[in-house]
Amino acid sequence: MSSAVSRREARRQAVVLLYQRDVTGLPVPELVENALRAGEHADDPFTRGLVAGVEADRDALDAGISAAATGWSADRIAPLERNILRVAAYEIHAGEVPVPVVIDEAVEMAKKWCGSEAPGFINGVLGRIAREQAGEAA
């Protein structure tokens, strides 16, 4: 089996690591070591880039999520949904992956892992973030 990880799997791993960081408070390097011991691909370069980017821009990402999540602040959003949003918002701002792909991947994660309301909520928040960024770029 190849050690190459799909971007979908790398995103999933980034969300899991960031979620664990929120819930446990453990440092990311320790969480990566734990994941590697469990056989996860936590050392994938794309995963590392997403985690590092979200960690570096957490305050700005949370501010953007709070602004786009009408009536919600990032700290009131469930940790798993919040980290799906953080990873996707980071990717939208990075501009390396087409926005529809980023949003679709985030919605798919929400469908798989979160409650029935989460996919629509995540789609709406990310749509507003993407429109805001597109307006800034214009």
CB 15 within 8 A of CB 84: yes
State the pLDDT at residue 1: 32
Tell which wins on pLDDT, 133 or 138.
133
Between the CA of residue 60 and those of 67, 74, 90, 119, 132, what are the distances in Å? 11, 11, 10, 23, 14
**Nearest to residue 18, comparing CAs of 45, 63, 66, 50?**
50
Question: Kindly report the CA angle at 26 between 25 and 28, in degrees rounded to 5?
Answer: 115
pLDDT band at 134 (very low <50, low <70, confident <90, very high): confident
Assigned CATH class of 7-137? mainly alpha
Enumerate residues 6+ apart whose C-beta is below 8 A from 64. Answer: 89, 93, 129, 132
Model confidence at 29: pLDDT above 60: yes
pLDDT band at 137 (very low <50, low <70, confident <90, very high): low
pLDDT in tens, 62-114: 999 999 998 888 989 999 999 999 999 999 999 999 999 999 999 999 999 99
Distance of CA 71 to the CA centre of its chain: 20
